[in-house]
Structures are given as C-alpha cells and as structure tokens.
C-alpha cells in the first residue's frame, strides 16, 4: 500500500522525536534563525550587514545558520562577482511566510521582558530554590 503525500503530511507529529516537523521546529526555534529571519524581513542583506545587525553572533554561527536556512529553502544566497565578491541573502517566499510568526515572537519577548525578569527575581528569592 502506498502512502500519498497528503497522507504523509497528515502524519507529521512534532511531538515525536523522529518526525521531520520536529527537526524543522528545532531549527526555526533557534535564536539566531529567528533573528536572521527578522533581519531579512525588510529585504536582502549582505553578510556583513547581517553580522552588524546580529550583534555578538560569531562568523561561524552566522555562516552555519545561513547555510541551514538555505538548505531548508527559507533563504537564497546570491553571489555577485566583484572585488570583493558580493554575497546577498534574501528570504524565499517560504521564508517570508515565517516572518509574521518570528516578528510576533520577537515583539512578545521585548514587550514582556520586564514581567519575566520580575518573575525570575521572585522565583530566585523564594526559599528552597
């Protein structure tokens, strides 16, 4: 019995460790991926621009994150021959479909940070912690 693509799609369950959707969820929940998607939401960026926007990301981590996003079809890499070589990164239509989710998560974190810090302080001050 063959499984159709729609049947296989319906069988994805990110709660299961070996599910491909779980691996994708792991990837897109990475902090650098989230920030890269947000940085590219306004249009293509050069590698150096991304490294400037994403303060404290190492060159290795930025390169690795961009490669995995490219592999997953979320980002395109365009090389323009020049001196020095120009490399631009842009979101694909699939990557653009992720932008609203990532922007919402980023905004939520920024808007709720004071409350989270207060909760941490209360928790850390409680006896027995």
| Helices 31-40, 59-71: inter-axial angle, 10-degree rounding | 70
Domains in the chain: how many in total?
A: 1
- Is residue 85 situated within a structural domain? yes
Task: Say if 26 falls within a structural domain.
Answer: yes
- Each residue's pLDDT, cut to its tens digit, for the chain (129 residues) gives 455 555 555 678 888 888 999 889 988 999 899 999 999 999 999 999 999 999 999 999 999 999 999 999 999 999 989 888 889 999 999 999 999 999 999 999 999 999 999 999 999 999 886
- Domain boundaries, position 39: 13-125
Which pLDDT does position 97 carry in this prediction? 97
Where residue 82 sits, what CATH number does that domain have? 1.10.10.10
Question: In this structure, is residue 38 part of a structural domain?
Answer: yes
Distance CA 81, CA 67 (A): 20
Burial of 96 (0-12, 13-18, 19+ CB in 10 A): middle
Please report the pLDDT score of residue 1 as a whole number: 46
Confirm if 50 and 94 have CB atoms less than 8 A apart: no
User: What percent of the chain has pLDDT above 70?
Assistant: 91
Position 8 in a domain? no
Give the C-alpha separation, 126 to 105, whole Å.
29
Classify residue 57: in a domain, yes or no: yes
- Asked if residue 7 is part of any domain, the answer here is no
Decide if 32 is inside a domain. yes
What pLDDT shows up at residue 17?
85
């Amino acid at each position: 019995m063959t499984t159709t693509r729609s049947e296989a799609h319906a069988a994805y369950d990110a709660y299961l460790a070996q599910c491909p959707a779980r691996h994708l969820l792991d990837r897109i929940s990475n902090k650098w991926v989230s920030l890269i998607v947000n940085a590219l939401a306004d249009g293509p960026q050069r590698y150096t621009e991304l490294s400037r926007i994403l303060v404290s990301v190492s060159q290795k981590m930025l390169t690795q994150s961009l490669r995995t996003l490219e592999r997953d079809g979320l980002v395109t890499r365009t090389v323009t021959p020049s001196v020095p070589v120009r490399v631009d990164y842009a979101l694909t239509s699939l990557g653009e479909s992720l932008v609203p989710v990532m922007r919402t998560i980023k905004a939520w974190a920024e808007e709720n940070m004071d409350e989270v810090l207060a909760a941490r302080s209360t928790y850390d001050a409680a006896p027995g912690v």
